[in-house]
Structure 1
Amino acid sequence: MTKQTQNPKFQDLKKLLPNIKKNVSLKEDTTFKIGGRAKYFYDAKNKEDLIRAILAAKKFKLPFFILGRGSNILVADKGFDGLAIKIKNEKLKMKNYNSKFKIFCQSGVPLAKLVSKSLQIGATGLEWAIGIPGTIGGAIRGNAGAFNKSMTNIVKSVEVLEITGGQMQNAKCKMQNDNAKFKIKEYKNKDCKFSYRESIFKKNKNLIILSAELQLKKGNKNKIKEKMKEYLNYRKETQPLNFPSAGSVFKNPKVFSAGELIEKCGLKGKRLGGAKISEKHGNFIINLGNAKAGDVAGLINLIKQKVKKKFGIILEEEIEYLGLTQ
Structure 2
Amino acid sequence: MSVPAREPYKVGNGPPSSEALCFFVYQNITATMKLGRRPALTKNFVLEYTPPAHKGKMEETIQKLLPGVRKQESLSRHTTFRIGGPARYFFTATNSDAIIRALQAAKKLRLSVFILSGGSNVVMSDAGFPGLVIQIRNSKFKIRNFRVDAEAGVLCSSLVKATVHRGLEGLEWAGGLPGSLGGAIRGNAGAFGGEIKDAVVSVEAIDEKGRMHVFSKKQCRFSYRSSIFKEKKYIVLSAVLGLVKGDAKELSKIARSHMLYRKERHPLEYPNAGSMFKNCDAKKLPVRWKKHFANVMKIDPFPVIPTAAIIAAAGLKGLRVGNVQVSQKHPNYIVNLGKGRAKDVVRLVEKVKQKVKKKFGIVLEEEIQFV
2:216 equivalent to 1:188: yes
Write the distance in 2 (CA, Å) between the matches of 1:3 and 1:223: 57
**Could you give the per-residue CA deviations for residues 266-304 of structure 1, whole angstroms, max 9, x where no partner exists?**
101111111110111111001112211122111111111
**Structure 1 segment 1-326 matched on structure 2, within 5 A:** 4=52, 9-96=58-145, 101-163=146-208, 181-204=209-232, 206-255=233-282, 256-322=305-371
State the secondary structure of the residue aligned to 1:303. helix
Conservation of the 8 A alpha-carbon contact between 2:58 and 2:109? no
| Higher RCO, 1 vs 2 (CA within 8 Å, ≥6 residues apart) | 2
Conservation of the 8 A alpha-carbon contact between 2:117 and 2:136? yes
Task: Give 1:134 shift.
Answer: 0.6
Q: Tell me whether 41-50 or 3-12 shows the greater mean CA deviation.
A: 3-12
The residue identity in structure 1 corresponding to 2:257 is E
Write the distance in 1 (CA, Å) between the matches of 2:77 and 2:199: 30
Write the distance in 1 (CA, Å) between the matches of 2:349 and 2:357: 12
The residue identity in structure 2 corresponding to 1:190 is K
Write the distance in 2 (CA, Å) between the matches of 1:134 and 1:67: 11
CA RMSD, aligned part only? 1.6
Task: Give 1:61 shift.
Answer: 1.6
Q: Tell me whether 251-260 or 182-191 shows the greater mean CA deviation.
A: 251-260
Conservation of the 8 A alpha-carbon contact between 1:44 and 1:87? yes
Task: Give 1:3 shift.
Answer: 7.1
Task: Give 1:34 shift.
Answer: 1.0
| TM-score (normalizing by structure 1) | 0.88
Write the distance in 1 (CA, Å) between the matches of 2:155 and 2:166: 17
Conservation of the 8 A alpha-carbon contact between 1:92 and 1:109? yes
Task: Give 1:66 shift.
Answer: 0.7
Task: Give 1:6 shift.
Answer: 8.6
| TM-score (normalizing by structure 2) | 0.78
What percentage of residue pairs aligned between the two structures are identical?
46
CA shift in 2, pair 1:10/1:152, >3 Å: same
Conservation of the 8 A alpha-carbon contact between 1:44 and 1:86? yes
Write the distance in 1 (CA, Å) between the matches of 2:248 and 2:60: 53
The residue identity in structure 2 corresponding to 1:245 is N
CA shift in 2, pair 1:18/1:92, >3 Å: same
State the secondary structure of the residue aligned to 2:225. coil
Structure 1, unaligned runs of 5 or more: 164-180
CA shift in 2, pair 1:53/1:5, >3 Å: farther
Structure 2, unaligned runs of 5 or more: 1-5, 7-49, 283-304
Match of 1:168 in 2: none
Conservation of the 8 A alpha-carbon contact between 2:116 and 2:134? yes
CA shift in 2, pair 1:104/1:298, >3 Å: same
**Could you give the per-residue CA deviations for residues 202-259 of structure 1, whole angstroms, max 9, x where no partner exists?**
111x211010000111211110111112212222232112211111001111123211
State the secondary structure of the residue aligned to 2:102. helix
**Could you give the per-residue CA deviations for residues 65-92 of structure 1, whole angstroms, max 9, x where no partner exists?**
1110111100111111110001111111
Greater than 3 Å deviation, 4+ residue runs = 1-8
Write the distance in 2 (CA, Å) between the matches of 1:76 and 1:3: 19
Write the distance in 2 (CA, Å) between the matches of 1:4 and 1:260: 50
State the secondary structure of the residue aligned to 1:291. coil
Aligned length: 300
